[in-house]
Structure 1
Amino acid sequence: MHGEYKVPGGKLVVVDLEVEDGRIADFHLAGDFFLEPDTALDAIDAAVTGLPVEADAAAIAAAVRGALPDGAQLLGFTPESVGTAVRRALVTAPGWRDFEWEVVHEKAVSPRMNLALDEVLTARVGDGRRRPTLRLWEWDESAVVIGSFQSYRNEVDPDGAARHGFDVVRRISGGGAMMMAAGQIITYSLYVPASLVAGMTFADSYAFLDDWVLQALRSLGIEATYQPLNDIASPTGKIGGAAQKRLANGGVLHHATLSYDIDGEVMTEVLRIGREKLSDKGTTSAAKRVDPLRSQTGLPREQIIQRFIETFSRLYGAEPGRITEEEYAEAEALVAAKFATDEWLRRVP
C-alpha cells in the first residue's frame, strides 16, 4: 500500500507498507523532508511496523514521536503528517490530480442563494452528479453570514445591521460570523468527495484544502500561512477564515472568506464581538486583527480572484465550468424552504 501527504507549507511525506494479520508490516517512510540524525528514519520505520491497522493518525504520530532519538530534528514534516500519510495509504485515498476539476465564477446572486448553492453543489458532488468544483462567489447585497451553531442575538446587532444595509443569513457550516460587505470580501467554496480527505484528521483537512490558496497569495507577494484551526494569515494580521460541512452522502463543503477591504467601525456596529472571543488574540479590536488583501497587494479585487483561478487551474488541471439551470432551480427552491425562513435563521436564538 502506498500513501502520500503534502504538508501544507512543508514537504511531501510518502509511505509504503504491507498489511499482515491485521498489522502494518514492512513499513518505509520517504519524502523530500529533512531529518537528523539519519538513524531516525530507521527508528520511525520500526515504530510504525507492527501497529494495528485500526490505529488512527494520532496513535501513529505518538508512536513516531516516542521512537525519535533525543535531539532529533524534523524539518518540513511532523509525526502527525506521518500518521496522516499512513491512514491515507490504508484507505487508498486519491490525490487532487485523480479528479477532474471545474472552476466556476458566475453571476452575482443573493447571499441566501450563495448558501443554497453551497448545499446543492456539495450534495451533487457527493452523489456523483457533479465533478469536484471550486466556486468563486459573487453577491448582489451586503450580508452578515453567521455560523450554523451561532446564536443570532449574541453575534449580530440588528439595529446596526439594518442601519448599514446588511441582511443576516445562516450557513450550514460551523465557525464564526462573516461580514460580507459588497466588494470587500473574496469568498470561495470547494465541493469535494470525502475520499480526497480520507485518513486526515478534521484539522489537517482544513490546511490541506486551502494549501492552493496559500500558494496563490504567496505569488502575489503575501507571506500567507495557515493558523490552526481555520485562519489564513500573514505576518501583519489575519486575512480570512475557513469552515466545513460534511454531508452523509460523502460530499464535503469547504469554504473560506478572505477580507479584501474592511471598515472597522462598521464591523463593530454590525457584529457583537465580545471580549472573551478576543481574549486570546492579543488585541482589543477585531478590526485591528485583520489585514485585508487590498492594503497588502494594491491590486483590484478582480485581479486577485483571477490569480486564484489561475493557480488552482495550474495545480490541479481544472477547467472552466458552469452552474446548470437545474442546479440554480434546486437552489432557489432551497432558499424558499430553508435559507429565507425565520425558523432556520433563528434556530439558535
Structure 2
Amino acid sequence: MTKEQWYFINTKSHDAAYNMAFDECLLRWHSEGTIPPALRFYTWTPSAMSVGYFQKVEGKIHTENVRQHGFDFVRRLTGGRAVLHDHELTYSVVVSEKHPKMPKTVTEAYRVITNGLLEGYRNLDIEADLAVPEGKLQQTGSAVCFDEPSWYELVIGDKKAAGSAQTRKQGVILQHGSVPISMDDDVLFDLFAYPSDEVRERAKSKFKEKATTMEEYLGRKLSLEEVEEAFYKGFEKGLDIELVPFELTAEQEQEVQTLAKEKYSSDEWNFSLNKKGVK
C-alpha cells in the first residue's frame, strides 16, 4: 500500500524572524491548498530565545542579557514558554485539522505528531517515552519551557527532553518544537529575570533535576547530521508517511522574507501582548 506523501524541507540555519515567518507561511500555504502536509527541520543563527504567543516578557525575560549574549529574540505564533534555541534541531509540522490521522483535541493531536520525535530518539538508541502526568498538572509559573510539565511531553527517564508548542489557525495545525542536543544551563538561566542570584541558582538546580539532552544521556557528542537523519526516519515511521523534497519558488521565498521583516522583526510583535495573529 502506498504511503501518504508529505513535503519535507530542511531550511538549515537562519535568524529568528525568518524561522518564525517560514513556519507561518507553511501554515498559510497548506490552508490554501498550495502544499500538502509538511515537515520542516531548521536551526538558528545566531542562537535565539523564542517566547510563547501569550507570554509576558517584562519581569520574566532578562532582555538585556539576551542582547549581551548576542542572541536573537522573537515571539512565536504558538503558545508555551521561553526556549533558548542553541545546540538543537528544531522541527515544525503543518497538517490540516481535518486530516484523518489528526484527533480533534490539541493534546491527542500532539501525541500523534510527537510519535515522530519518539521514533527519532529511538533511532539514536535513546529510550525516550511520552509522559502522561497523573491527575491535574501543577503549573509552577516558571518562564522556562523545560521547567513546566505538559501532556505527552517527550521524556528520557523522568526528565523532559523536548519542548513543543501547537496552534490551530485557518483550519491547520502548526506544531513546532525544540529538540536539544546539548544545553548550557548557566547561559539559559542568565536570560531570565530573578529577584536575586540565590533564587536563580535555586531554580537552576531544580531545573537540572527536570531536564536532559541527547548528549547528556548518551555521554558522547552528536553531529547535527546524525540527529537530522535519525529524526527524518523517525517522522516517516512515527507518522507512517513518505517524505518528499520541497523547494520554495522565488515568490514563496519573497513571501517569507517580507513576513520576517514586517512582522517577526518588529518590536510591536515581539514585545507586545496585543497581537492580531496571522496576517
TM-score (norm 2): 0.80
* Alignment partner, residue 231 of structure 2: 308
CA distance in 1, matches of 2:59, 2:88: 23
Correspondent of 1:224 among 128, 151, 160: 128
Deviation at 1:203, TM superposition (A): 1.0
CA distance in 2, matches of 1:198, 1:225: 20
Deviation at 1:320, TM superposition (A): 2.2
Deviation at 1:273, TM superposition (A): 6.9
* Alignment partner, residue 109 of structure 2: 205
Q: Could you list the structure 1 runs, at least 4 aligned residues long, displaced by more than 3 angstroms after superposition.
A: none
Aligned-partner residue type, residue 232 of structure 1? L
* Alignment partner, residue 109 of structure 1: 14
Instruction: Say if 2:12 and 2:41, in contact at 8 Å, map to a contact too.
Output: no
Correspondent of 2:89 among 186, 190, 206: 186
Correspondent of 2:60 among 147, 152, 155: 155
CA distance in 1, matches of 2:207, 2:153: 14
Correspondent of 2:155 among 233, 252, 256: 233
CA distance in 1, matches of 2:92, 2:26: 10
Q: Which structure would you say has the larger Rg?
A: 1
Say which SS state the counterpart of residue 111 (structure 2) adopts. Answer: helix
* Alignment partner, residue 136 of structure 1: 41
* Alignment partner, residue 147 of structure 2: none
Deviation at 1:283, TM superposition (A): 8.3
* Alignment partner, residue 247 of structure 1: 169
Aligned-partner residue type, residue 91 of structure 2? Y
Cα distance change, pair 199–108 in 1 and its aligned pair in 2 (3 A): closer
CA distance in 2, matches of 1:156, 1:283: 15
Say which SS state the counterpart of residue 58 (structure 2) adopts. Answer: helix
CA distance in 2, matches of 1:272, 1:192: 36
- Per mean C-alpha deviation after superposition, the further-off stretch among 193-202 and 107-116 is 193-202
TM-score (norm 1): 0.65
CA distance in 1, matches of 2:83, 2:74: 10
Deviation at 1:330, TM superposition (A): 0.5
Say which SS state the counterpart of residue 254 (structure 2) adopts. Answer: helix
Say which SS state the counterpart of residue 203 (structure 1) adopts. Answer: helix
Aligned-partner residue type, residue 241 of structure 1? G
* Alignment partner, residue 215 of structure 1: 119
CA distance in 2, matches of 1:174, 1:337: 21
CA distance in 2, matches of 1:336, 1:300: 31
Correspondent of 1:256 among 157, 177, 187: 177
Q: Which runs of 5+ in 1 are unaligned?
A: 1-95
Instruction: Say if 1:106 and 1:322, in contact at 8 Å, map to a contact too.
Output: no
* Alignment partner, residue 195 of structure 1: 98
CA distance in 2, matches of 1:260, 1:185: 5
Deviation at 1:325, TM superposition (A): 2.4
Say which SS state the counterpart of residue 268 (structure 2) adopts. Answer: helix
Say which SS state the counterpart of residue 108 (structure 2) adopts. Answer: helix
- Percent sequence identity over aligned pairs: 25
Higher relative contact order (CA 8 A, sep 6+): 2
CA distance in 2, matches of 1:106, 1:157: 29
How big is each residue's C-alpha offset from its partner over 1:29-65, in whole Å with a ceiling of 9 and x where there is no partner?
xxxxxxxxxxxxxxxxxxxxxxxxxxxxxxxxxxxxx
CA distance in 1, matches of 2:272, 2:109: 28
CA distance in 1, matches of 2:27, 2:68: 34
CA distance in 2, matches of 1:264, 1:288: 12
Corresponding pairs, count = 245
- Per mean C-alpha deviation after superposition, the further-off stretch among 290-299 and 260-269 is 290-299
Deviation at 1:254, TM superposition (A): 0.7
Q: CA RMSD in A?
A: 2.5
How big is each residue's C-alpha offset from its partner over 1:252-311, in whole Å with a ceiling of 9 and x where there is no partner?
11111111111111111112379xxx9xxx985324422111222332222011111123
Q: How does 1:72-83 map to 2 (within 5 A)?
A: none
CA distance in 2, matches of 1:242, 1:177: 11
